[in-house]
Amino acid sequence: MNSPSSFWAAGAQPLTQLLGQDWTQALQAFEPLAPAAGAPGAAPLRFVPEKLQALQQQYLEEARALWMQSLQGSIPSLQDKRFSGTAWAENPMAAYTAAVYLLNARTLMGLAEAVEADAKTRARIRFAIDQWLAAMAPSNFLAFNAEAQKKALETKGESIAKGLQNLLHDISQGHVSMTDESQFEVGRNVATTEGAVVFENELFQLIEYKPSTAKVYERPLLLVPPCINKFYILDLQPDNSFVRYAVEQGHRTFMLSWRNPDASLAHKTWDNYVEDGAMAAIEVVRNITGAAQINALGFCVGGTILSNALAVLAARGDEPVASATFLTTLLDFSDTGILDVFIDEAFVRMRELQFAQGGILPAAELASTFSFLRPNDLVWNYVVGNYLKGETPPPFDLLYWNSDSTNLPGPFYAWYLRNFYLENNLVKPNKLTVCGEKIDLNQLQLPVYIYGSREDHIVPIHAAYASTQVLPGPKRFIMGASGHIAGVINPPAKKKRSYWSREDAQFPPTLEEWLAGATEHPGSWWPDWAQWLAGHAGKQIAAPKTYGKGKFKPIEPAPGRYVKQKA
């Protein structure tokens, strides 16, 4: 099982050879994923006998049917988008090869489910098999990809030459191209909302955006994006910019733009990002606007940082934030979805040995980890298109942002892994000490708006909903369609997707119970949020004519230079 042909090119050998394999050996390549594997005397993987027997029987039946179909000269149906092109259907050998691959893939995943092990071990085995299956698909190899072969013939080899050029280009830039990156430039056609940098320290720049209304709400809005990505996911292009939308609703809007860490920030900790990041930004916004309280929004890890900042401030007896919005944010880390396969004591301890005392986690490692959470969509799809077919991926602002990666300070990363992903300490009152304070989320009585995406693979929807059980103040929870990014960046003008709300302010223990009383609405959730935020923004006052105030003077135009720093 260490080459493509040994796995799915069964058309070149009698199926009886494949059917005669010892099934108990099929998953031994993935045995190291079991927690005790590799230890002296570790037991081999075992299978539930009834499941194994049923799986063998099903395989034999499907394999015989496929073999008979091939003998009759009919083309098997391929229910997989990787093999949906007409070239596959027109090439019997290619179609048969793909059908055998899909059968073997289903069987291997069934074997993973039949393993006698705890849920986490089975999840790790499923993840490893999924990665291997994605890599071994016949569509990934020119010798078996009917579409790539057809295109090579039609272009007289030009597609192959172009594919080699694309491969060399991606090797030089260090990552697979998901979009035509030459079509985008930060500040030119992404991150274009007008504004100015009015404060900076070694961790972040603070951007103030120019009002587009004659009056603004008296309470300004501070946006805290994730530090593992760049802020302009919230300000892509004018027609899908969350920032522009907030400004158009009459909010005096500020954005925290994190610096892309280099060696000079290799010692920075979680406390630094909370106190010198989010808390510093809150105080600067208050000083510039003169507002006693502001509204704040945190996205993903930015929301986790914001929650810690609010908890530290509460422990100090300060309440500078009137309301908080949490977009696809983890507070309760008991369900971390597919990322949980990486997390255990051994892994976290290894990372602490690497980074706890300093260092930089490279952006490339972060980017590849997130890409391989969806390998067919975010890796092999582009390998096939870019290299085998010689295609240039179309320009797509979201994927350009996705490729504009950031580093992380090692101590920040190591502390985050242990205290949140491994030990889930944030939901334990007074367990964590952050910025010298014992923090307790139960002390946060402010109103909160919580958004989760139904198909989110990074912050699972159940985990997003779990925040309703953690935060004690007035709450509104919204579930949007789609995933971690596309669900959030869903402007009203597009009239796409939908969202769910519940108007009785009831938050039962489980998402399923909440959904039983929820109503689906077509389109974007942004207007719902805007209506909610307006109720916490105070009265309207004349919009400012200049950026900043007093010692906080404009430094440079938005989007600033920090966001342009490459990893």
Measured CA angle at 101 (ends 95, 107), to 5 deg? 140
Q: Which listed residue (99, 100, 115, 300) is catalytic?
A: 300
Phi-psi domain of 424 (left: phi exceeds 0; alpha: psi -120 through 50; beta: other): left
Please, what's the b/e burial string for 544-561 (b: 16 or more CB within 10 A of its CB; e: otherwise)?
A: beebbeeebeebeebbbe
- Interatomic CA distance for residues 270 and 410, integer angstroms: 10
DSSP state of 146: H
Please say if 435 is a catalytic residue: no
Per-state percent for the chain, helix, strand, coil, to nearest 5: 50, 15, 40
Taking the CB of residue 238, how many other CB atoms lie within 10 A of it?
12
What is the C-alpha to C-alpha distance for residues 308 and 278, in angstroms, rounded to an integer?
Answer: 9
Q: Where are the beta strands (DSSP E) in 139-231?
A: 195-200, 204-209, 215-217, 221-224
CA–centroid distance for 125 within its chain: 21
DSSP state of 212: -
Closest CA to 334 of 230, 425, 446, 396: 425
454: Cβ–Cβ under 8 A, 6 or more apart, which residues?
Answer: 461, 479, 480, 481, 482, 487
* 535-to-94, 288, 442, 496, 532 alpha-carbon distances in Å: 60, 22, 23, 26, 5
Q: Rounded to an integer, what distance in angstroms lies between the CA atom of residue 536 and that of residue 520? A: 25
Which H or E run includes 40? none
Question: Where do we find the tokens 């929820």?
Answer: 518
Query: How many helices (H) does the chain have, and how many strands (E)?
Result: 21, 17
HEC string of 394-460?
CCCHHHHHHHCCCCEEHHHHHHHHHHHHHCCHHHCCCCCEECCEECCHHHCCCCEEEEEECCCCCCC
Categorise residue 78: left if φ over 0, alpha if ψ from -120 to 50, beta otherwise: beta
Distance CA 227, CA 204 (A): 10
Query: What CA–CA distance (Å, rounded) separates 69 from 170?
Result: 41
Residue numbers annotated as active site: 300
